[in-house]
Chains A and B, each alone.
Chain A
Amino acid sequence: MAPKPKSPSGKKKASAGKKRQKQILPVTEEEEPVNMESMGHPEIYPLVLTTKTQEIFNCRIDEDVTDEQPHKLIKKQDILEDLHNRAAVSDFHPVKKLVQEYPGDELLLVYDKDFKYGLNFYLIGTEEGKENYLNPPEVPEEQEEYKEYIPEEVYAYKPPVSKPWVSLGSEKEIEEESVKGSTKQITYMISRKRSEFGAPIKFHDQNASSVKDAYIECTAYPDHIFTLKQLEKDVGMQVVPKMNDTSTQTRWTYPKNAATQYYPREFSEEEKESLEQSKTLSDFLNNVSISVEIALQQNEITNTFVDDWKYLAEEESTFGDKTDTHLKEYQSFTDLHSPTEKMITCVSWHPTIYGLIVVSVAVRLSFEDRVHFSDKLLLQPSLILFWSFSDPIHPQLMLESPEDIFCFQFCPSDPNIIAGGCINGQVVMWDITAHADRIENIKAGGSRSKKVTLKPMFLLEPDSNKEAMYIRHCAVSSIENGHKKVITDIHWLSDHFEINRMGFVFENRSGICCQLVTCSADCTICFWDIRPQKPLTPQPIEKKKEESIEIPFDVPSTFLHLDLSWKPLSKIKLSKGETSLDHCPTKISLNEDHILYKTQDKVLAQSKAMKAGEVNPYHNLEGGMGNHLKPIDDFCTKFFVGTEEGEVIYTDWKMERDPETGRLMTKKPVSLYTVHDGAVHTVQRSPFYNDIILTIGGWNVAIWKENVMVLSVNYYFEREVKHLEYVEQRKLIREQEKKEMELETEQKKVKTYHKSKEQMEAELKMDYENYLELERTILISLGLIKVSEKISYMDL
Chain B
Amino acid sequence: MVVNAEGIPIRTTLDNSTTVQYAGLLHQLTMKARSTVRDIDPQNDLTFLRIRSKKHEIMVAPDKEYLLIVIQNPCE
Interface of A toward B, CB cutoff 8 Å: 264-267, 272, 275-276, 280-281, 284-285, 287-289, 291-292, 295-296, 299-303, 305-306
Q: Could you say which of A272, A280, A303 has the most chain B C-beta atoms within 10 Å of its C-beta?
A: A272
Nearest A residue (CB) for B23: A264
Digitize B31-75: 1 where CB-to-A-CB distance is under 8 Å, 0 elsewhere.
Answer: 000000000000000011010100001010101011010101011
Known: A284-B63, A299-B57. A264 touches B68 (CB 8 A): no
B residues 18-35 near A (Cβ < 8 Å) are 20, 23-24
CA distance A280 to B65 in the complex (A): 8
Chain B residue with Cβ nearest A280: B65
A304–chain B nearest beta-carbon distance, Å:
9
CB <8 Å contact, B75 and A296: no
Given known A275-B10, A288-B68, contact A264–B24 (CB-CB < 8 A): yes
Chain A residues, Cβ within 8 Å of B52? 305
Question: What bracket does the count of chain B residues touching chain A fall in?
Answer: 20 to 34
Q: Assess A276 versus B10: contact at CB under 8 Å? Given A264-B24, A284-B68, A296-B70.
A: yes
28 pairs of residues in contact across A and B, judged by CB atoms under 8 Å: A264-B8, A264-B20, A264-B24, A265-B8, A266-B20, A276-B11, A280-B65, A281-B2, A281-B65, A281-B66, A284-B63, A284-B65, A285-B68, A288-B61, A288-B63, A288-B68, A291-B61, A295-B48, A295-B70, A296-B59, A299-B57, A299-B72, A300-B75, A301-B75, A302-B75, A303-B74, A303-B75, A305-B52
Closest 4 CB pairs of A and B: A288-B61, A264-B20, A284-B63, A284-B66
The chain A residue with its CB closest to the CB of B52 is: A305
**Which B positions have Cβ atoms within 8 angstroms of A?**
2, 4, 6, 8-11, 20, 23-24, 47-48, 50, 52, 57, 59, 61, 63, 65-66, 68, 70, 72, 74-76
Instruction: Determine the chain B residues whose CB is within 8 A of the CB of A288 once the complex forms.
Output: 61, 63, 68
A272 near B11 (CB under 8 angstroms)?
Answer: yes
- Closest approach, in angstroms, between the C-beta of A287 and any C-beta of chain B? 7
How far is it, in angstroms, between the C-alpha of A287 and the C-alpha of B2 when the chains are bound?
13
Q: How far is the CA of A291 from the CA of B8 in the complex (A)?
A: 22
B10 adjacent to A295 (CB under 8 Å): no
Which residue of the partner chain B has the closest CB to A267? B8
| Residue of B whose beta carbon sits closest to that of A290 | B61
Q: Which residue of B lies closest to A263 (CB)?
A: B20
With CB as the reference atom, state the residue of chain B lying closest to A305. B52
Cα–Cα, bound, A236→B8 (Å) = 78
Residues of B within 8 A of A272 (CB): 10-11
Q: Which residues of A lie under 8 Å from residue B66 when comparing CB positions?
A: 280-281, 284
Residues of B within 8 A of A300 (CB): 75
Bound state CA distance, A264 and B6, in angstroms? Answer: 11
B58 to nearest A CB, angstroms? 11
Q: Pick the contact of A275 from B4, B61, B70 — CB < 8 Å?
A: B4
B22 CB to nearest chain A CB (Å)? 11
Nearest chain A residue, comparing its CB with the CB of B24? A264
With a CB–CB cut-off of 8 A, which chain B residues contact A306?
A: 76
- Beyond the given A266-B8, A303-B75, please list 14 additional residue pairs across the A-B interface where CB-CB is below 8 A: A264-B8, A264-B24, A265-B6, A280-B65, A281-B10, A285-B2, A288-B61, A288-B68, A291-B47, A296-B70, A296-B72, A302-B75, A303-B74, A306-B76
Q: How far is the CB of A187 from chain B (nearest CB, A)?
A: 118
> Which A residues are CB-close (under 8 A) to B24?
264
**Interchain nearest-CB distance for A587 vs B (Å):** 45
Closest-CB distance, A13 to chain B (whole angstroms): 170
Closest to B66 in A: A284
Knowing A281-B66, A288-B68, A292-B59, say if A299 contacts B4 (CB, 8 Å).
Answer: no
Nearest A residue to B76 via CB reads A303
Return chain B residues, CB-CB under 8 Å to A276.
10-11
CA distance A306 to B75 in the complex (A): 11
Chain B residues with CB below 8 A from A264, complex form:
8, 20, 23-24
Taking the closest CB of chain B, its distance from the CB of A512, in whole angstroms, is: 40
Could you tell me the distance between the alpha carbons of A280 and B4 in the complex, rounded to whole angstroms? 11
| A295 neighbours in B (Cβ, 8 Å) | 48, 50, 59, 70
Give the docked Cα–Cα distance between A296 and B71 (Å): 10
A160 to chain B, nearest CB (A): 150
